[in-house]
Amino acid sequence: MSSQVQPSSATGVAEPSPADATYRKIKWRILPLIMLCYTVALIDRNVIGFARLDFMHQLGFNEVMYGIGTGMFFIGYFVFEVPSNLWLQKIGVRLTFLRIMILWGLACAAFAMMRSPTEFYLYRFLLGAAEAGFFPGVLLYITFWIPKARRASVTALFMAALPIAGMLGGPLAGTIMRLFDGALGLHGWQWLFIVEGLPACVLGVVVYYFLDNKPADAKWLTAPEKALVQADVDRDSAASPGQHHSLWQAFGDKRVYILSFVALAVFSGAAANAYWIPTIIKNSGIKDVLHVGLLSSIPFLAGLVTQFLVARHSDKVGERRWHVALCLGTAAAAWLVLGTTHLTTAPAIALLTVCTAATLGATGPFWTLPGSTFSGPKAAGSIALVTTLAGLGNVFVPMIVGVLIDKTGTLAASQLAYGTLLLAGAIAIVAATRAPARP
């Protein structure tokens, strides 16, 4: 379907084609809401990084316990990710997202009741299990509405929720913890989980009444618009190669494991930003939790800009692996400097900004590599395996980091570990993958 603009015979001014107008309408209808939902999901997932500023000493937790609890989220997430998507196919997006969002909101609020490490592990597992399926479910939902040729920009906008959640989450967490501390006999960190869990429940109801399962159900599309969308999506489906044995083929390709390791570095770097920035800022001399929250938004603001600029430049020049390698190498250098020097607030935030911006900058170019590295029936299985292996690795990285901090008594060990992992990822992507052909 052509997407070129058409000149108006009356005014001579270019007008969008019917396809452009239809997909613009669809984007404005579904994208803001699902982007808001994902932002809330990320804030709820990462709020633990702020809550730990208080509950660690109040509940007597050590860093090993924190690392185990952090990893438990990913166990729940990956155990229930596939079943959740299978249910989506059966019951539709509206009921699936309603179930996911209400359950994850309740799981987040339940942290206010935790008193022991066992409860911490349980609630983190339940939060991961509840949220499982949302991200891949959204990616699947987009395929119902947007053809492949138009999908990249929509996915990129959706992924902007990553830095946006970081920008908003810090100031919001700091404000809640300061204003609500002591209210009704609860600590600020308890109120943080309660207040930030409620929006997910509300949004679940909004999604149920606002989104449609598929274009055919959308009363806000005309009959010709529905036919246009369905024809484009059906054309994509007909052109897709069969996926027979794709997963088994992927297991035998060493490039899958190399890309999985690089994905683990990217995932771990992003998680490190979310889970440790508040603590590093506090340790640099900032004691007021609101100030910690406000300052923590700076790295993610830079990350939002960098994510856009790096992805744009990578698309412009048609190069991926060196963009990923330079971003990961830059983030690694910043983490290593953090781990080997004792810094005051300003230089610490500057280095954290470099860490966050560089890591987020790598995300866009990296996630084009699996699709361009593999082709044919092997592609789908390879991409799924890369994501799964990297995600499972994230179960163990926080636990290992927790042990390192507990044994050494300093955050420097964790910073050096993250720096080393990111540097290894940068080297791996250069040494072991071929650059895809330029367009």
Amino acid 51: pLDDT = 93
Q: Per-residue confidence at 392, pLDDT binned at 50, 70, 90?
A: confident
| Alpha carbon distances (Å) from 271 to 213, 229, 236 | 32, 37, 34
Q: φ, ψ for residue 241 (rounded to 5)?
A: -70, 160
Q: Per-residue confidence at 386, pLDDT binned at 50, 70, 90?
A: confident
Which amino acid is residue 11, in one-letter code? T
Q: φ, ψ for residue 15 (rounded to 5)?
A: -120, 150
Contact 247, 347 (CB under 8 A): no
Which amino acid is residue 418, in one-letter code? Y
Q: Per-residue confidence at 251, pLDDT binned at 50, 70, 90?
A: confident
CATH number of 244-433: 1.20.1250.20
Amino acid 399: pLDDT = 87
Per-residue pLDDT reduced to its tens digit, 191-224? 999 999 999 999 999 999 999 999 999 999 999 9
Share of the chain above pLDDT 90, in %: 50
Instruction: Assess if CATH 3.40.640.10 describes domain 20-240.
Output: no
Query: Is the pLDDT assigned to residue 55 strictly greater than 80?
Result: yes
Region 152-181 average pLDDT: 87
Distance CA 199, CA 101 (A): 9
Contact 189, 51 (CB under 8 A): yes
pTM of the predicted structure, to 2 decimals? 0.80
Q: Per-residue confidence at 107, pLDDT binned at 50, 70, 90?
A: very high
Provide the mean pLDDT of the chain.
86
Region 273-286 average pLDDT: 89
Closest residue by Cα to residue 196 from 77, 46, 300: 46
| Alpha carbon distances (Å) from 42 to 216, 409, 412 | 31, 29, 26
Vertex 154 angle, CA 75 and 140, to 5°: 45
Q: Per-residue confidence at 85, pLDDT binned at 50, 70, 90?
A: confident
The domain spans of the chain are: 20-240, 244-433
Instruction: Decide which of 431 and 63 is more confident.
Output: 63
Distance CA 417, CA 264 (A): 13
Amino acid 222: pLDDT = 92
Query: Is the pLDDT assigned to residue 337 strictly greater than 90?
Result: yes
Q: What is the 3-state secondary structure (H, E, C) of the chain?
A: CCCCCEECCCCCCEECCHHHHHHHHHHHHHHHHHHHHHHHHHHHHHCHHHHHHHHHHHCCCCHHHHHHHHHHHHHHHHHHHHHHHHHHHHHCHHHHHHHHHHHHHHHHHHHHHCCCHHHHHHHHHHHHHHHCCHHHHHHHHHHHHCCHHHHHHHHHHHHCHHHHHHHHHHHHHHHHHHHCCCHHHCCHHHHHHHHHHHHHHHHHHHHHHHCCCCHHHCCCCCHHHHHHHHHHHHHHHHHCCCCCCHHHHHHCCHHHHHHHHHHHHHHHHHHHHHHHHHHHHHHCCCCCHHHHHHHHHHHHHHHHHHHHHHHHHHHHHCCCHHHHHHHHHHHHHHHHHHHHCCCCHHHHHHHHHHHHHHHHHHHHHHCCHHHHHCCCCHHHHHHHHHHHHHHHHHHHHHHHHHHHHHHHCCCHHHHHHHHHHHHHHHHHHHHCCCCCCCC
Query: Is the pLDDT assigned to residue 87 strictly greater than 50?
Result: yes
Both tokens assigned to 156: 């990129």
Residues 78-117 as b/e (b if ≥16 CB within 10 A, e otherwise) read: bebbeebbebbeeebbbebbbbbbbbbbbbbbbbbebeeb
Region 104-123 average pLDDT: 96
Query: Is the pLDDT assigned to residue 240 strictly greater than 60?
Result: no
Instruction: Decide which of 34 and 248 is more confident.
Output: 34
Query: Is the pLDDT assigned to residue 436 strictly greater than 50?
Result: no
Q: Per-residue confidence at 1, pLDDT binned at 50, 70, 90?
A: very low
Q: Per-residue confidence at 322, pLDDT binned at 50, 70, 90?
A: very high
Amino acid 156: pLDDT = 73
Query: Is the pLDDT assigned to residue 381 strictly greater than 70?
Result: no
| Alpha carbon distances (Å) from 61 to 77, 78, 114, 116, 198 | 23, 26, 12, 8, 26
Per-residue pLDDT reduced to its tens digit, 119-146? 999 999 999 999 888 887 887 888 888 8
Amino acid 423: pLDDT = 97
Decide whether 20-240 matches 244-433 in CATH topology.
Answer: yes
Query: Is the pLDDT assigned to residue 168 strictly greater than 50?
Result: yes
Name the one residue in this structure whose structure tokens are 């379907």.
Answer: 1
Which amino acid is residue 347, in one-letter code? P
| Alpha carbon distances (Å) from 189 to 174, 195, 300, 410, 423 | 10, 10, 22, 23, 34
Per-residue pLDDT reduced to its tens digit, 170-186? 999 999 999 999 999 99
Angle, helices 18-46/93-110, rounded to nearest 10 degrees: 20
Distance CA 225, CA 18 (A): 8
Distance CA 375, CA 250 (A): 11
